[in-house]
Amino acid sequence: MNDKMTPSGDGGDNNHKRPKNRQSIVIFLTFMLVSFLALNFIQNFMKDASSKEITYDAFIDMLNEDKVAKVEDTGLTWKITPRTQPMGNVEITYYTGKMDDDALLPMLKARDIEITPYIQDTFSTLVWQVVWSFLPLILIWVAVGYLMRRMGGGGMMGVGKSKAKVYIEKETGVTFKDVAGQEEAKESLVEVVDFLHNPENYAEIGAKLPKGALLVGPPGTGKTLLAKAVAGEAHVPFFSLSGSDFVEMFVGVGASRVRDLFDEAKKNAPCIIFIDEIDAIGKSRDSRLGGNDEREQTLNQLLAEMDGFESNKACLVLAATNRPEILDQALLRPGRFDRRIIVERPDLKGRVDVLKVHARNVRLDETVDLEAIALATSGAVGSDLANMINEAAILAVKNKRQAVSQKDLFEAVEVVLMGKEKKDRILSAEERKIVSYHEVGHALVSALQKDSEPVQKITIVPRTMGALGYVMHVPEEEKYLNTKKELEAMLVGYLGGRAAEELVFETVTTGASNDIQQATKLARAMVTQYGMSDKFGLMGLETKESMYLNNGTVMNCSDETAAEVDSEVMRILKESYTEAKRLLAENRECLDKIAEFLIEKETITGKEFMEIFRKVKEEADGYQQEELIFAE
């Protein structure tokens, strides 16, 4: 066996070239055939348009009127060319049937008309005409015969054959060591791989190989990577394809491809079939909104094939999706997809492990602390973290450093989350001042509240994703639950920027649109999902849909209740905004000092922010103590 992964059936470069060359020849012959038929059609059309039939009497009249320039004997007719042509580019000729008229030839000679006699075709000419007439049919027969051989019984042009890429006992280059942060998912798949390697150990007890395993999770969490790792570990034939590979505009093609795929899998058992994005064919068969015959036939065939697998064939079907809620229930029942493997966003330890995996081949200096980066990227998936490591390496090269530093990593986090710095966008002095107070308002409100997250960075440099500035928070530890006080502190923090604008400039701007959106979303979730409203109590008023994609929700209450929910959300936001204005008004001097420093520096760290904050607070406390002493 070779060590490198190669799709089955490939015999090297020569085997790759021959089918392509044959296909090119067929395409060329087909093109020539179509061109010939088109040219022949055009010639016949032009001929029919330029040649008109007339009566023999009309021909004699033209001779008497001296309107004939040339006459050609074609064997059965006289072809007549007039002396004058009508306006236009097409030459008009006439033809009429031949009659037994002895006076015709003397009449033509008397008027000095050119006569072209009829010459009988020879045998070779007749043979060539017959071959030329049947040549298009011969070419069509050759092309169709070749295509029928290529389709292999799966339908015209091979549309019914499976498009699966088959990797037979080869190395994909990916193993379970390359998958980090998904220990539970790996554990479930390791059992399957071990079953394929040592089926006798399980057969002694009476255990059977699961028919299928469904990998479920948000995009970018590593579902396809896990499947590649299974292929790299299993050392059995591995069929890989996407759900969309089954879908065609012709009804029955998808079902034919499913049959072909499973027939091949049975021949190569034990094996693994991996179907990525299975929701493309596995949607629920709900006829209320109209169905798709092709997709439903494909799904029905898939259900029949999975249910029809013999237990001793040892064939496992892996599938991946980020929309499990829309899959057909028949597909999810035991006996088809026996296991649902959740591939969630990694936790803090998982993110550290993922960063270590992607940083293995990257040169890091002594300042790098991957745990700090993991803390700053709560909610990031594996693909995000891989992108951050790569961006950090690019930044290190750009800055002419020999190794990646912690500064490069934090800047890469900002690039992935917020976009690159937009240095060509120059704000006016007034706008810089407004943006500065806005961002400091967020940071100061967070610093003044007990349940807020610490500030890591404040900047007023615009970013390519639209932000004119932002405040970066880094939690002190990973959290899986939030208390009501913490959520209330988050609401006040969201609205701190707008509160600072109104407090300092006595007006508001459009810069708080995203803050308002986030605050409204959080306040609504507190009322409808978390049961944190005194008015509605523990009543669930919203349900989640597409939990792995956009976290969309649907209200499951009456219109009157929905209107009351809006009023409650408005009340919570109003109270949070009032609290934000109160905190900033009581610390106005601190707000002004930090904003002035930010306008000058454009970007300040959380450490610099806290130093100014503590210094101003100490000065204010000392001033108050002096006033008390003076008063006494």
Q: Calculate mean pLDDT across residues 470-499.
A: 90
Read off the pTM: 0.68
Long-range contacts of range 588-594, CB-CB < 8 Å, 24 or more positions apart?
588/503, 589/616, 589/620, 590/444, 590/616, 590/617, 590/620, 591/437, 591/440, 591/441, 591/444, 591/500, 591/503, 591/504, 594/440, 594/443, 594/444
Helix (H) or strand (E) holding 485: helix 484-494
CB within 8 Å of 584: residues ≥ 6 apart:
441, 444, 445, 496, 499, 500, 503, 591
* Apex 424 CA angle, 422 and 428, nearest 5: 100
Is residue 92 scored above 90 in pLDDT?
A: no
Report how far residue 187's alpha carbon sits from residue 183's, in angstroms, rounded to the nearest whole number: 6
For the chain, give the mean pLDDT: 80
pLDDT at 303: 86
pLDDT at 145: 61
Q: Between 73 and 520, where is the model more confident?
A: 520
Structure tokens at 552: 């969309």
DSSP of 268-304, one letter per residue?
T-SEEEEEESGGGT-B---GGG---HHHHHHHHHHHH
Q: What are the tens digits of pLDDT across the range 457-468?
A: 899 988 877 788
pLDDT tens digit sequence for 315-335: 788 999 988 888 888 888 888
Cβ atoms of residues 273 and 261 within 8 Å? yes
Q: Which domains can be identified in the chain, with CATH numbers?
A: 54-116 (3.30.720.210), 165-283+295-342 (3.40.50.300), 348-417 (1.10.8.60), 429-623 (1.20.58.760)
In one letter, which amino acid is 13? D
Question: What is the distance between the alpha carbons of residues 342 and 380, in angstroms, rounded to a whole number?
Answer: 16
Residue 280 confidence class, pLDDT cut points 50, 70, 90: confident
| High-pLDDT (> 90) share of the chain, % | 24
Catalytic residue among 233, 439, 453, 501: 439
Q: Which pLDDT score is estimated for 419?
A: 83
Question: Is-catalytic flag, 488?
Answer: no
pLDDT at 297 over 50: yes
Contact 416, 387 (CB under 8 A): yes
> What letter represents residue 377's amino acid?
T
Evaluate if residue 152 carries a pLDDT over 80: no
